[in-house]
Chains A and B, each alone.
Chain A
């Protein structure tokens, strides 16, 4: 049971905010994905929760109790580090067993062996158990680092881009494994990623961070279908949302300076004439790069489309987003 609350957390390094008044409430058993560009403060958020860093202001609460003053060990959180942080002088087995050897857990050697081999199996590194931690590829190190968190059963997992160095297949496998481990254990997870498939498929909640501020917090659908500003809107969606001048298609609400169009918000067949500049066949979908009055936009179309560069397509917006000059959404 772990309901986590971040309450008005601020943290600055050398006078620059890494986190600026961030608040979020993470329900028990939630899988929260933090999205944001590099330097947004994602790692810093995890470090606040783990207790590796202290917030300048604000508080982290678990089940209503403040964690202020508690060490990472006392907080009982497991963390997967962005830079792996394996113990270089130990073997993979010893790395995985390390958390279990904590006197706080009192695990017998027998149990350690069982747990380590189960985790190694899950992460497909069972054949590397005797390797030294430094004699591994980047992806293998990353899996050991995940394994070190998974051998324990804490109430809260903190994972900092845990699948970033893996190949596409392994990433897809482990996405499912991690999600099912989380679902089975009921643990709460805070998960950082740049991969929007991970965000969309694993998250129960998404937190969008930018320059230390929490822009929006909600379910992936909510962020996708009802973004609060241009920034949140461009975090999710492949291809990315097209941001164009608001009056490009005629009438626009007062105050709107830009219009946001996701591919499904672009109706093809009627409306303005646009020129097809490039056609990308991706297999399951085909991307159209269009040029409309000197503005570029990207949309998707039928996988077996006959369209080619130089053709003309008529397009019109369908339930688009409008944003004001500050980038905030206008309803």
Chain B
């Protein structure tokens, strides 16, 4: 009798153990393998979620844990949805989300398109462009505060080099109108390379022969771009948007480091606001309701988006 390597391995398994495993059905074995992950998922994701939902109907304060917990129904939700300050943070978040995505997609795609043209040293350029992504957000936030410094900052200097005027005449971080743009610019600087990499993967997935066919079919470069390049990169681009959208919805570190949510509340994104409610004001019940609202919003938007993404992929 000739044994395959796998059969030999099976024979090497101690007899009682082998028998025990053999006694189990495939289904049981499958359960044994997934059980640890399921347990972990329940413990760190599902249970806290359910607990949060429960807390969101109470006036619980974690720093007064001994106080009686009172169920107050939808009062927390009511207060949040009618609070104009929270709508301000929502607006700040939307502004941040929309502009970072628009800029990163446009610049990222353009960079990928340029890098994808076969020229000497494009690998080196890719490495250089990707560097910002590898830094820690806290570090990035910290050194952009220096760049934005009105007196000594490089940013103000470069801008006024082109527009004229005095570098110290404006402060990106101190001005209520400029601060929302300050965080958009810093985040775009940091994360455009990520979008570029994904677009580059998309562009590289298009074989040259398809462009050659289009060339023979007498399609101009312009038409090739719109009928071949864009539709074939679109699924990749949408994936990048999904990643960036989710990441930036929960943006915290970079903005806290850069503006701390100010001036006023102009750059207080929902995640920053939520952290303040939960761990500075200790309004646990209230902030639980807040978290649930954010969760539903992200979850809803993401599912709609993923549906759209799948449709694009199927096309």
Q: Which residues of A contact B (CB under 8 A)?
A: 50-52, 71-73, 76-79, 81, 83, 85-89, 98-99, 102-105, 132, 148, 152
Contact = CB atoms under 8 A, between A and B. Distances in A.
Contact of B213 (A77, A105, A148): A148
Interface string B221-248: 0010001100110000000000000000
A76 B218 contact: yes
Nearest to A53: B212
A287 B165 CA distance: 95
A98 B228 CA distance: 11
A52 B231 contact: no
B215 interface: yes
Contacts of A88: 210, 232
A87 B219 contact: no
A72 B216 contact: yes
A213 B220 CA distance: 34
A73 B220 contact: yes
Given A89-B231, A89-B232, A89-B315, A81 B209 contact: yes
B210 A87 contact: yes
Contacts of A79: 213, 216
B219 A98 contact: yes
A98 B216 contact: no
Interface string B186-228: 0000000000000000000001011011111111100100011
Nearest to A149: B216
Contacts of A87: 210, 213-214, 227-228
B269 to A, nearest CB: 37
* B: interface residue count bin: 10 to 19
Nearest to A79: B216
Given A89-B232, A89-B315, A99 B209 contact: no
A99 B210 contact: no
Contacts, number: 61
B216 A52 contact: yes
A79 B315 CA distance: 26
Contacts of B219: 73, 98, 102
Contacts of B228: 87, 89
Nearest to A71: B215
B160 to A, nearest CB: 46
A102 B218 contact: yes
A104 B219 CA distance: 9
Nearest to B207: A85
A77 B216 CA distance: 7
A329 to B, nearest CB: 38
B215 A52 contact: yes
B213 A102 contact: no
Nearest to A76: B218
Contact of A81 (B213, B223, B227, B315): B213
A81 B220 contact: no
Given A81-B209, A83-B209, A103 B220 contact: yes
Contacts of A81: 209, 212-213
A50 B218 CA distance: 11
Given A81-B212, A85-B209, A87-B210, A148 B218 contact: no
Contacts of B209: 81, 83, 85
Contact of B210 (A50, A76, A85, A105): A85
